Amino acid sequence: MSSMREYPYPSKSEVRWVSPDWLDDNMEDVRIIDAQPNVHDYIMGHIPGAVYMNEGLLRVARRRQPASFVPAESIEVIFRSMGISGDVPVVVYSGPGVYSRCAAGLGDGLEQTMVAYALVRFGHRMVHILDGGIESWMESGRKLTKEFPDAQEGSFRSEIRREHFVEMEELKSIMGREDVMLFDARPTPSYEGQSMWVKPGHIPGAHSLPWRRLMTENNSRLLRDDEELRSLIGGFDLEGKRIIVYCGTGREATNEYLFFKYYLGHPDVRIYEGSFTEWSSYPENPTVTGPNPR
């Protein structure tokens, strides 16, 4: 864990990062969500009191988007069945998973930011992320359990908070303005050239900021120290800017969205949920290749 950060961080915010010590001291007052990549990971070991949620429940196909957020009424049923209520704080964590270590590509660390973003997007206002995930819990000397808690029905009421995201047409109308800063959270090769998408490169004007750079080398669920994070973004002039983040399908961007909006407290941050998957599916939408935004 970072020795430079005092938890919970920030002290007052809808989304805060917490430590194992904080979680251990507050377990009776929160609902804990285990977002490990596979339910078998959860079965093999989870933090006591945690209920399981697979992030795949959050998205379905809609129009040209193969992975769009489910309707509000659907997420309300899901969150209530997990025992989530709007007046009870939620703590989300993930991990590489004992079971998922055998499956390539699982356990990348984004499960916890994806679920945390979905919670605030659909109306929750007391969301906590366990900095370092399940590894930090175990490294602090605490044990996992195989016992399943009784998830009583919650009273969560879903509310789509549109101030958190932009749609494609709105992005088109503002992306050329000097007061708009666009970030691409995908890995550098995807940003610069041809990847899995039908078009190569990135959205015109977007700066490359791979989400993994925000996290420590050995733990993709643990944020870097404050000094490293501020050095990483120090080259960008963010003062007075509206920040918009995107990635491939909107998943990687949740990490940077939460970082800019809640960790840094930037006053105007949005996520383009359709991201490059939606953008590149329209022939008329231009893209740029190479290392430069334009």
Q: What is the pTM of this model?
A: 0.95
Domain span at residue 211? 162-280
Query: Residue 147: inside a domain, yes or no?
Result: no
Q: Domain check: are 187 and 267 in the same one?
A: yes
- Rounded to 5 degrees, what are φ and ψ at 17? -95, 135
Give the pLDDT confidence score for residue 4 in this predicted structure.
66
CA distances, 84 to each of 88, 143, 155, 185, 207 (Å)? 7, 24, 7, 30, 37
Domain boundary among 105, 139, 173: 139
Q: Domain check: are 183 and 99 in the same one?
A: no
Give the pLDDT confidence score for residue 63 in this predicted structure.
84
Q: Domain check: are 166 and 88 in the same one?
A: no
Give the pLDDT confidence score for residue 1 in this predicted structure.
45
Q: Domain check: are 166 and 127 in the same one?
A: no
Give the pLDDT confidence score for residue 103 in this predicted structure.
60
User: How do the pLDDT tens digits run along the chain, 294 residues long?
Assistant: 444 689 999 999 999 999 999 999 999 999 999 999 999 999 999 999 999 999 999 999 988 889 999 999 999 999 999 999 999 999 999 999 888 876 655 789 999 999 999 999 999 999 999 999 999 999 999 999 999 999 899 999 999 999 999 999 999 999 989 999 999 999 999 999 999 999 999 999 999 999 999 999 999 999 999 999 999 999 999 999 999 999 999 999 999 999 999 999 999 999 999 999 999 999 999 999 999 999
Q: How far apart are CA 252 and CA 242, in angstroms?
A: 19
Domain boundary among 139, 172, 187: 139
Per annotation, catalytic residue among 70, 119, 130, 247: 247
Query: Residue 152: inside a domain, yes or no?
Result: no
Query: Residue 23: inside a domain, yes or no?
Result: yes
Q: Domain check: are 218 and 261 in the same one?
A: yes
Which CATH number fits the domain that encloses residue 77? Answer: 3.40.250.10
102 annotated active-site: no
Give the pLDDT confidence score for residue 114 in this predicted structure.
98
Burial 67-94 (b: 16+ CB within 10 A, else e): bbbbeeeebbebbbebbbbbeebbbbbb
Query: Residue 285: inside a domain, yes or no?
Result: no
Give the pLDDT confidence score for residue 274 in this predicted structure.
97
Q: How far apart are CA 227 and CA 4, in angstroms?
A: 9
Q: Domain check: are 168 and 262 in the same one?
A: yes
Check whether the bond before 10 is cis (ω within 30° of 0). Answer: yes
Give the pLDDT confidence score for residue 105 in this predicted structure.
59
